[in-house]
Chains A and B, each alone.
Chain A
């Protein structure tokens, strides 16, 4: 079983739709959680951190469920510019003094006009 698993998609939704992604993780000791966005042929960039209480940034909402070991990302009123691959990232203790940072394989999102 992969340490971090995501539905690879692709998700193909119309502009204005609401879309949600889930990501599950296997290490219950995981400490920090993030969503990254990666555009085609570009580097991953931090979209938002995920906090236990959930957090919102404009049209984006991230939530963490520690009991079930998953995080989610909700995008409301999707825009064409939201088309990208969304990476789930989980940080756990490990690698001696460095955090163990695991990336999911990503979920591809395509917004159509």
Chain B
């Protein structure tokens, strides 16, 4: 099992450019999440999905869109990147049973917006 993988690992964008971050998991987990982590701060939830074809907003959704067309993939899109979106982005997945389980994280994508 690869677990949770993220691509790309690192990216530099200019203000106004767009990009898509891909998260893939091979554990057949129902729930998937996108977080951002800024220096000295905790993880903040951007969007999440409770199953294929469903998405919902988290704590800081503005400026981002997501799609979950396949159960194993969760895409995070930035339509018009801004310097405030410079951050480390983590994807996580979580099994549906939930009881006693916790999240599994990908290695992160470091995004720099100039």
What residues of chain A have their CB less than 8 Å away from a CB belonging to chain B? 4, 8, 32, 34, 41-46, 49, 87, 89, 91, 95-99, 101, 103-106
Does A99 lie within 8 Å of B42, measured CB to CB? no
Which residues of B in the span 36-62 have a Cβ within 8 Å of any Cβ on A? 40-43, 45, 48, 50, 56
Chain B residues in 8 Å Cβ range of A106: 42
B114 to chain A, nearest CB (A): 20
Chain B residues in 8 Å Cβ range of A96: 50, 56
Known: A49-B100, A96-B50. A44 touches B43 (CB 8 A): yes
Question: How many residue pairs, one in A and one in B, have C-beta atoms under 8 Å apart?
Answer: 54
* Option from A43, A98, A103 in Cβ contact (under 8 Å) with B42: A103
Subset of 5 A-B contacts with CB under 8 Å: A43-B108, A45-B105, A91-B98, A99-B98, A105-B42
Chain B residues in 8 Å Cβ range of A42: 107-108
Does B31 lie within 8 Å of A98, measured CB to CB? yes
Known: A43-B90, A98-B31, A99-B94. A87 touches B102 (CB 8 A): no
Residue of B nearest to A51 (CB): B100
Cα–Cα, bound, A104→B43 (Å): 8
Does A95 lie within 8 Å of B48, measured CB to CB? yes
Known: A42-B108, A45-B105. A105 touches B40 (CB 8 A): yes
Does B43 lie within 8 Å of A103, measured CB to CB? yes
Known: A44-B90, A104-B42, A105-B40. A89 touches B102 (CB 8 A): yes
Does B40 lie within 8 Å of A98, measured CB to CB? no
Chain A residues in 8 Å Cβ range of B106: 43
Chain A residues in 8 Å Cβ range of B35: 103
B38 to chain A, nearest CB (A): 10
Residue of A nearest to B107 (CB): A43
A107 to chain B, nearest CB (A): 11
Cα–Cα, bound, A49→B102 (Å): 9
B84 within 8 A of A: no
B103 within 8 A of A: yes
Does B105 lie within 8 Å of A43, measured CB to CB? yes
